[in-house]
């Protein structure tokens, strides 16, 4: 009987098997690198219509987060400021801080026309996830815990993963991420000399009864 | 004693001759989708011809196609350029705002609060401050939010806004026409100018009418409502000698005799009536309701005694009662008000003697604490007699009287208008709202006569039959889009304020700010705006002068607002120029109404002033001849407004079309209701089309067999168009019965004929959906006797088959009776209620979940109690849930396949010994949130899980649609998204594919953009293949929890200062930063005994409970001993539905308590 398979068939078969295993492995590795939020989200740094620098306004000038994001302590959404807020300073008639800067043209135009400045959205949770800013900041979770060191960012960058697993890490053990409520918007806050974040966090946790929920309804409705 | 039997339909009842054997699992076809009736028949036009194999092939292909991943698209955030002044400090994205306004409707507006998310109104709630609502609404108020966004109104391609003779026009074109027309009309003193309006009840419209009287004195105002109340008004006029608006105080009445009167189900005051009636129902002693009616009404379902009687015989019944009352003269207050001569109107049939005697005796014994109420359907003399009897019994103290507005006397009826049109007297006709071409009495030949009018202008919400017959169609602004006002049923002035600019489906956003000033080409205008134009209502002195650059639209809008201010000034007695005016007017807008004590011009009449003119009543009675009882040859036909589409004004609303009728559970259609005996005699069954001859008009309509309908009578719910006019909805639309409704028989017609035709029609009813199998203890009933429900002593078992479950009456020391199955299983809340001892001592809770108590460690343990003795089955909760939870409509074809998506349903059970005269129990049923939920262990992907708050959660993003959970749910409350109901139009759920004639749609064709605006942003819009169910409105619970925690934090951080309880020491817990407030409700939070932050009772409610007009549903934290729900959970008789399954539901029920007259039960 003539051989059905040639001598090389075994080799080809082995090569195919190895190739498939390697290919599948590459696919999985590639998937993990390219398809997960660590690649698709973290580092997202879109160019904004106005080159507003948080580094300058917060880091250097010391503006508090709530000067612009006014509703963060009582609303689910912190809010993006209206052009009106910018016009408190950048206004020819008022303080006239760079009152005619070409960079600020979209703000002037918005203030005049009533149409919004089209800011690019950086942080976005899936539609089925409901995050509440107010309850977090009122329980001693700093802005920096999710948004990173914004006071050092010239352009706002997506700093943290904001995936469910990432959220749950803190919800399982919030202690290291808590600080006194008064320091929540102080992005460069550090525990005093000789004290550990865990120590302070544990105190805050006890005092504010921090018991982060881990069941589905707290975020999915 | 045999247990009492409950059934849902005649077919379902055992022992009925010819009834098919019961299914082993009735109504479970939705679970076993491939079995039985749920599989569409081959000739069904909607049949999916796709085989299972074809489907799998297709899904594999679809799966591969989905592998194209990428980065997220760039999204924008659009903040305000400057926050509008009135919203500084209020507007917070992500937080809803509530505005007080009202929904005008004939007879009286419903005061409401409307929830608005970022400028989009999404949900209507009752106004808790107003006595006509007290926070409750009805189904129609809930559904009105859909009308606001209805694509047929704002973005239909067929009807582009303003139209003249079928051609699209702009508002400017109409403005030109109106200016020209108004000039001429003023010159001619309004000769030939007629306004035909629905009952607007608006004081600012009355200001315009006053102006019209001066500027165009010959103009005529005609008011028409299909739900005619003229007989009732005439009856009051006969009895009291003056036109009076009558309003009954059911919260004062211990004995109520309702004659053909659906005061809980229909009418402007149904919400207030329900609340008042339910309060008296829960009181000790309970009230007792006798209902005499021909078809089953919502009021009939809750009656203690119901007599089915043809409408034409009801007057005779009252005469018999009046005669019987003369035997009790000694107990009457004003025996002189009894009409002596009653002979001629005596009934022409044999009345149940015991009934009349018992009712009369009961009413006489409860003189001054009773009421006789007569429905609008009855002739004037019956009303007059009832007023006289109420006066004789001294019941007038329970009646409120008001003078009608003076303008009402000058209004003409539609009959006169039709005659004037025929005579050529009408040159210009402005039709405001309504739909007279459809629903005017058929003998007026309204549509034909209308063509004799030279200029016909129609202002209507939808482009309907009347718009088609008129020259101009003008889109009417929704009440939520316009300024206005209206009177509530009690006469208080309520404001109508816009929450959103008139919607305008095709206007590009953000192009030209100057476009703001231009009238939107499609957006509607209010009645006031159009009327000011048509009547040249001048801007009053001192009002803002119009800038010449602004358009007439802006001018009209400014005038409308000015009118609302002036109407308020007139009613409140504060002049517009008064320095206090702005404050008071703002207060009025904030509260939503002008409280009665501040109303200077319209006061309720003192009941002492109102005297019955007994001679006039006698005279009215004298002319009456006995009406022969209906027979097989001479059927009586009654016309009723539909519970779903009302008089047709909700026929364009898919929510109301898919709303299961509270009695028949029919959806998308209406039918002729007949009794089982009548059906048997004519050899017809549900769905058979019959020929119904009503005074020479022949209707071809299917019958629906309704137990409890009077024999030889047919009830015709009107309002359906007879065709489906909602775009993108393929089926339904029912049968138009208006052609048979004529001036001389607006409410019922005698001497009609019925003939079977042998044809049939596909009626879809949900009454057999989600049936809980036979023999289970589903509904419990108990008779009150002399013991109230709240009493500590046991109510006795009456031995008549009532309360067929375990003996009602639970010893105060334990939760359950010995022998009750629950005892072995139910941990329950086995503590005495809070009011029987200091809660801090007695309050203890068995572990809620015996298996894993550590999972339920939250301080919030939500629970619900549904009181069956308060539930009237009105189904406001169903639509409230639909609006709150983004529940789609599925269409008639899919309801037939048991695929309706309502999270809460009202099961309607017939019960009682007689199959054709049963009693009804209605039972609202949504997910009961079992602590040991059968759905949870069977989910392969953990999508059905439990929360620490005791909620049974459905996690949509985990769900893969195996439907195991639904199979395992004994309550049948889970709903599966068979299609992308939220993404596709109902007529595009199935489109042809290569595999099937009508397969599954693969492309999204999209739903209209405006419908997306209605969605509640706090609730996920579910997609195809996902299971869903009642969540206990978890979005509201979470909002309340966050709110309380934030309120507590604000106090702890010193950002808010309140009075706190310094002496409070938490039990076992270490001191925290939080302080216990003295007034938790005002503070917005409370601390429990352990010092944990909780939501004070009453600050959070679920949508169904909030809407419920009788407060049958109570929701709250069962762990909080001060909560209403925790107290109700301790009530005697509280039972768990299917508690014997050890599911430990969080929703429990209180039995239906009836208060029968011992003389009638024997």
Work out the number of other CB atoms within 10 angstroms of the CB of residue A125. Answer: 13
With a cut of 70, say whether residue B59 has pLDDT above it: no
With an 8 Å Cβ cutoff, is B95 touching chain A? yes
Q: Mark out the alpha helices in B470-544 (DSSP H runs).
A: 527-535
Of B109-118, B591-600, B984-993, the one with minimum mean pLDDT is B984-993
Of B12-21, B542-551, B816-825, B887-896, the one with minimum mean pLDDT is B816-825
Which residues of chain B lie closer than 8 angstroms to A74, CB-CB? 92, 95, 1046, 1050
Taking CA atoms, what residue in A is nearest to B1042?
A: A135
Average model confidence (pLDDT) across chain B? 81
Q: What pLDDT band is residue B183 in, cutting at 50, 70 and 90? A: confident
Taking CA atoms, what residue in B is nearest to A130?
A: B1018
DSSP output for B921-969: EEEEE----BTT-TTTTT-TTS-EEE-TTS-EEE-TTT-----HHHHH-
pLDDT in tens, B231-274: 999 999 999 888 888 899 999 899 999 999 999 998 888 999 99
With a cut of 70, say whether residue B642 has pLDDT above it: yes
Q: Do A217 and B1074 touch (CB under 8 A)?
A: no
Q: What pLDDT band is residue B988 in, cutting at 50, 70 and 90? A: confident
Rounded-to-integer distance, Cα A117 and Cα B692, Å: 65
Rounded to a whole number, what is the distance in Å from the CA of B162 to chain A's nearest CA?
28
Rounded-to-integer distance, Cα B1030 and Cα B933, Å: 14
- Asked, as a colleague might, if the bond just before B285 is cis with ω within 30 of 0, I would say yes
- Residue B1069, pLDDT score: 63
Residues 32-91 of B with CB under 8 A from A: 69, 71-72, 74-83
Taking CA atoms, what residue in A is nearest to B80?
A: A82
Rounded to a whole number, what is the distance in Å from the CA of A15 to chain B's nearest CA?
27
DSSP output for B425-443: --SEEEEESS-HHHHS-GG
Interval B414-436 mean pLDDT: 92
With a cut of 70, say whether residue B981 has pLDDT above it: yes
Residue of B1023, B1042, B1055, B1075 to mutate when probing chain A, most A C-beta within 10 A: B1042
pLDDT in tens, B666-722: 999 999 999 999 999 999 999 999 999 998 899 999 999 999 999 999 999 999 999
- Residue B523, pLDDT score: 80
With an 8 Å Cβ cutoff, is A115 touching chain B? yes
Q: What pLDDT band is residue B23 in, cutting at 50, 70 and 90? A: low
Cα separation values, B289 from A182, B306, B494, B924, Å: 62, 8, 32, 22
Cα separation values, A22 from B68, B334, B433, Å: 22, 101, 72
Of B191-205, B287-301, B451-465, B604-618, the one with minimum mean pLDDT is B604-618
Taking CA atoms, what residue in B is nearest to A78?
A: B93
With a cut of 90, say whether residue B142 has pLDDT above it: yes
Residue found under tokens 């299914």: B23
Smallest Cβ distance to A217: which of B69, B953, B1045? B953
With a cut of 60, say whether residue B807 has pLDDT above it: no
Strand positions, DSSP E, B88-192: 97-103, 110-117, 120-126, 163-164, 167-168
With an 8 Å Cβ cutoff, is A7 touching chain B? no
ipTM of the prediction: 0.89
List of residues 6+ apart from B488 with CB closer than 8 A: B102, B108, B109, B110, B111, B130, B132, B268, B494, B593
Contact of B604 with B232, CB cutoff 8 Å: no
- Tokens (6 digits) for B1122: 């001060």
pLDDT in tens, B1022-1060: 988 999 999 999 999 999 999 999 999 999 988 888 888
Contact of B127 with B112, CB cutoff 8 Å: yes
List of residues 6+ apart from B355 with CB closer than 8 A: B305, B307, B1160
- Residue B854, pLDDT score: 58
Q: What pLDDT band is residue B654 in, cutting at 50, 70 and 90? A: very high
Residue B500 DSSP label: S
Interval B424-449 mean pLDDT: 92
- Tokens (6 digits) for B811: 């010893």
For residues A124 and B601, which has the higher predicted lDDT (pLDDT)?
Answer: A124
- Residue B27, pLDDT score: 46
Which residues of chain B lie closer than 8 angstroms to A73, CB-CB? 1046, 1050, 1055
Query: What region, left, alpha or beta, does residue B525 occupy, with left being phi > 0 and alpha being psi -120 to 50 degrees?
Result: beta
Parallel, antiparallel or unpaired: strands B245-248 and B399-402: antiparallel
With a cut of 80, say whether residue B504 has pLDDT above it: no
- Residue B553, pLDDT score: 64
Residues 56-95 of A with CB under 8 A from B: 71, 73-77, 79-84
Residue of A209, A210, A211, A218 to mutate when probing chain B, most B C-beta within 10 A: A209
Please give the backbone phi and psi of residue B932, each rounded to the nearest 5 degrees, phi first. Answer: -115, 80
Q: What percentage of chain B exceeds 70 in pLDDT?
A: 82
Smallest Cβ distance to A209: which of B80, B949, B1093? B1093
With a cut of 70, say whether residue B1108 has pLDDT above it: yes
Rounded-to-integer distance, Cα B620 and Cα B239, Å: 9
Q: Do A209 and B1092 touch (CB under 8 A)?
A: yes
Residues 1058-1077 of B with CB under 8 A from A: 1070, 1072-1074
Which residues of chain B lie closer than 8 angstroms to A216, CB-CB? 945, 947, 953, 955
Q: What pLDDT band is residue B49 in, cutting at 50, 70 and 90? A: very low
Residue B545 DSSP label: P
Beta bridge partners of B179: none
Residues A197-210: b if buried by 16+ CB within 10 A, e if exposed: eeebbbebbebbbb
- Residue B813, pLDDT score: 31
Interval B136-162 mean pLDDT: 86
pLDDT in tens, A23-44: 999 999 998 888 877 777 888 8
pLDDT in tens, B468-486: 999 999 999 999 998 999 9
Of A194-198, B235-239, B426-430, B791-795, the one with minimum mean pLDDT is B791-795
Contact of B382 with B318, CB cutoff 8 Å: yes
Strand positions, DSSP E, B862-933: 862-867, 905-911, 919-925
For residues B706 and B71, which has the higher predicted lDDT (pLDDT)?
Answer: B706
Q: Do B1074 and A82 touch (CB under 8 A)?
A: no
Contact of B1081 with B1100, CB cutoff 8 Å: no
DSSP output for B1111-1154: --EEEEETT-TTSHHHHHHTSTT-B-TTGGGT--BSEEEEPEEE
- Residue B992, pLDDT score: 65
For residues B1001 and B553, which has the higher predicted lDDT (pLDDT)?
Answer: B553
Interval A100-120 mean pLDDT: 90
Which residues of chain A lie closer than 8 angstroms to B884, CB-CB? none
Work out the number of other CB atoms within 10 angstroms of the CB of residue B913. Answer: 11
């Amino acid at each position: 009987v003539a051989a059905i398979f040639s001598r090389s068939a075994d080799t080809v078969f082995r090569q195919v098997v190895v190739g498939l295993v390697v290919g599948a492995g590459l696919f999985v590795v590639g998937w993990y690198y390219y398809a997960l939020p660590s690649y698709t989200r973290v580092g997202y740094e879109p160019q904004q219509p106005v080159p507003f620098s948080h580094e300058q306004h917060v880091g250097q000038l010391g503006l508090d987060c709530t000067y612009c994001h006014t509703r963060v302590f009582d609303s689910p959404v912190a809010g993006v400021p209206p052009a009106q807020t910018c016009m408190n300073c950048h206004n020819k008639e008022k303080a006239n801080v760079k009152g005619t800067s070409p960079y600020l043209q979209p703000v002037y135009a918005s203030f005049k026309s009533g149409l919004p400045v089209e800011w690019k959205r950086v942080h976005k949770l899936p539609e089925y996830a409901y995050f509440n800013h107010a309850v977090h900041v009122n329980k001693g979770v700093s802005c920096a815990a999710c948004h990173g060191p914004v006071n050092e960012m010239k352009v706002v960058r997506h700093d943290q993963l904001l995936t469910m697993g990432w959220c749950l890490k803190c919800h399982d053990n919030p202690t290291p991420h808590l600080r006194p409520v008064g320091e929540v918007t102080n992005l460069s806050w550090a525990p005093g000399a000789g004290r550990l974040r865990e120590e302070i966090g544990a105190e805050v946790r006890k005092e504010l009864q921090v018991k982060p929920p881990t069941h589905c309804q707290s975020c999915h409705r | 004693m045999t247990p009492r039997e409950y059934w849902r339909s005649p077919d379902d009842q055992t022992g009925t001759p010819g009834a098919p054997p019961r299914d082993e699992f009735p109504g479970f076809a939705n679970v076993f989708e491939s079995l039985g009736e749920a599989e569409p028949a081959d000739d069904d036009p909607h049949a999916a011809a796709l085989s299972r194999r074809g489907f799998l092939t297709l899904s594999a292909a679809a799966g591969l196609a989905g592998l194209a991943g990428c980065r997220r698209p760039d999204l924008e955030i659009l903040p305000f350029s400057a926050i509008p002044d009135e919203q500084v400090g209020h507007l917070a994205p992500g937080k809803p705002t509530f505005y007080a306004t009202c929904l005008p409707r004939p007879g009286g507006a419903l005061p409401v609060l409307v929830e608005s998310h970022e400028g989009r109104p999404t949900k209507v709630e009752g106004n808790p401050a107003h006595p006509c609502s007290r926070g409750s609404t009805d189904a129609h108020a809930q559904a009105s939010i859909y009308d606001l966004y209805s694509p047929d109104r704002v973005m239909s391609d067929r009807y582009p806004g303003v139209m003249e003779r079928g051609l699209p026009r702009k508002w400017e074109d109409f403005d030109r026409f109106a200016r020209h027309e108004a000039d001429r009309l003023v010159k001619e003193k309004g000769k030939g100018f007629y306004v035909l309006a629905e009952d607007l009840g608006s004081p600012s419209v009355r200001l315009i009418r006053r102006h019209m009287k001066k500027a165009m004195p010959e103009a005529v105002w005609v008011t028409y409502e299909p739900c005619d109340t003229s007989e009732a008004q005439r009856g009051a006029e006969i009895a009291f000698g003056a036109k009076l608006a009558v309003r009954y105080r059911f919260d004062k009445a211990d004995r109520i005799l309702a004659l053909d009167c659906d005061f809980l189900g229909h009418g402007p005051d149904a919400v207030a009536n329900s609340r008042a009636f339910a309060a008296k129902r829960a009181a000790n002693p309970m009230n007792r309701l006798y209902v005499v009616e021909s078809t089953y009404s919502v009021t009939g379902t809750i009656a203690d005694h119901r007599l089915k009687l043809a409408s034409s015989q009801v007057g005779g019944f009252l005469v018999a009662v009046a005669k019987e009352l003369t035997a009790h003269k000694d107990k009457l207050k004003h025996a002189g008000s009894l009409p002596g001569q009653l002979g001629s109107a005596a009934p022409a049939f044999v009345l149940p003697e015991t009934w009349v005697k018992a009712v009369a005796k009961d009413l006489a014994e409860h003189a001054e604490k009773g009421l006789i109420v007569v429905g609008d359907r009855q002739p004037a003399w019956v009303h007059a007699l009832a007023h006289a009897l109420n006066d004789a019994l001294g019941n007038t103290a329970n009646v409120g009287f008001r003078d009608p507005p003076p303008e009402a006397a000058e209004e003409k009826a539609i009959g006169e208008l039709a005659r004037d049109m025929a005579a050529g007297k009408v040159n210009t006709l402005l039709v405001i709202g309504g739909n007279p071409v459809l629903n005017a009495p058929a003998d007026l030949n309204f549509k034909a006569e209308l063509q004799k009018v030279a200029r016909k202008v129609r202002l209507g919400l939808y482009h309907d039959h009347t718009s088609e017959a008129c020259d101009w169609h003008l889109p009417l602004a929704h009440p939520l889009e316009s300024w206005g006002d209206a009177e509530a049923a009690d006469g208080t002035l309520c404001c109508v304020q816009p929450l959103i600019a008139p919607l305008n489906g095709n206007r590009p956003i953000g192009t030209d700010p100057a476009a703001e000033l231009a009238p939107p080409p499609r957006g509607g205008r209010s009645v006031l705006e159009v009327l000011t134009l048509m009547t040249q209502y001048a801007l009053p002195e001192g009002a803002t002068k119009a800038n010449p650059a602004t358009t007439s639209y802006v001018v009209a809008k400014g005038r409308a607002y000015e009118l609302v201010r002036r109407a308020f000034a007139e009613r409140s007695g504060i002049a517009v120029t008064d320095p206090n005016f702005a404050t008071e007017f703002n207060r009025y807008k904030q509260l939503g109404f002008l409280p009665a004590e501040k109303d200077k011009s319209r006061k309720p009449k003192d009941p002492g002033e109102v005297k019955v003119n007994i001679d006039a009543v006698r005279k009215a009675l004298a002319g009456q001849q006995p009406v022969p009882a209906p027979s097989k040859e001479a059927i009586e036909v009654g016309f009723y407004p539909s519970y779903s589409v009302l008089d047709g004004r909700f026929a364009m609303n898919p929510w109301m079309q898919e709303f299961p009728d509270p009695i028949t559970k029919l959806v998308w259609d209406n039918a002729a209701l007949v009794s089982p005996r009548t059906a048997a005699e004519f050899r017809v069954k549900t769905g058979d089309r019959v020929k119904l001859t009503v005074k020479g008009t022949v209707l071809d309509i299917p019958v629906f067999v309704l137990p409890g309908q009077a024999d030889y009578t047919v009830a015709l719910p009107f309002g359906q168009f007879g065709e489906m006019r909602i775009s993108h909805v393929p089926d339904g639309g029912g049968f138009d019965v208006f052609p048979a409704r004529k001036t001389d028989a607006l409410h019922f017609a005698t001497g009609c004929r019925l003939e079977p035709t042998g044809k049939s029609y596909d009626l879809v009813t949900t009454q057999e959906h989600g049936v809980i199998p036979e023999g289970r203890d589903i509904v419990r009933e108990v008779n009150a006797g002399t013991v109230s429900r709240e009493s500590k002593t046991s109510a006795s078992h009456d031995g008549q088959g009532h309360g067929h479950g375990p003996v009602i009456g639970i010893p105060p020391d334990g939760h359950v009776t010995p022998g009750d199955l629950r005892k072995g299983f139910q941990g329950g809340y086995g503590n005495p209620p809070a009011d029987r001892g200091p809660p801090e001592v007695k309050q203890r809770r068995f572990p809620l979940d015996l298996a894993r108590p550590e999972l339920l460690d939250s301080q919030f343990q939500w629970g619900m109690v549904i009181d069956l003795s308060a539930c009237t089955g009105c189904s406001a909760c169903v639509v409230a849930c639909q609006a709150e939870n983004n529940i789609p409509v599925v269409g008639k074809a899919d309801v037939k396949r048991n695929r309706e998506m309502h999270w809460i349903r009202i099961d309607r059970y017939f019960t009682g010994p007689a199959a054709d005269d049963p009693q009804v129990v209605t039972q609202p049923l949504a997910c009961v949130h079992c602590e040991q939920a059968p759905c949870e262990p069977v989910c392969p992907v953990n999508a059905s899980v439990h929360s620490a708050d005791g909620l049974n959660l459905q996690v949509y993003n985990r769900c893969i649609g195996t439907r195991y959970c639904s199979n395992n749910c004994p309550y049948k409350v889970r709903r599966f998204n068979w299609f992308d109901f939220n993404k596709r139009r109902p007529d595009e759920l199935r489109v042809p594919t290569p595999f099937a004639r009508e397969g599954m749609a693969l492309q999204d064709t999209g739903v209209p953009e405006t419908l997306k605006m209605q969605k509640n942003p706090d609730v996920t819009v579910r997609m195809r293949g996902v299971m869903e169910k009642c969540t206990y409105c978890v979005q509201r619970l979470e909002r309340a929890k966050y709110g309380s925690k934030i309120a507590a934090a604000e106090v702890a951080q010193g950002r808010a200062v309140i009075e706190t309880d310094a002496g409070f020491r938490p039990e076992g817990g270490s001191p925290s930063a939080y302080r216990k407030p003295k007034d938790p409700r005002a503070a917005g939070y409370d601390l429990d005994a352990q010092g944990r932050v909780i939501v004070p009772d009453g600050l959070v409610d679920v949508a169904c409970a909030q809407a419920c007009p009788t407060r049958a549903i109570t929701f709250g934290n069962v762990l909080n001993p001060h909560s209403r729900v925790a107290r109700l959970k301790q009530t005697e008789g509280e039972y768990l539905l299917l508690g014997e399954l050890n599911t430990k539901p969080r929703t429990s029920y209180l039995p239906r308590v009836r208060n029968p007259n011992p003389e009638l039960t024997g």
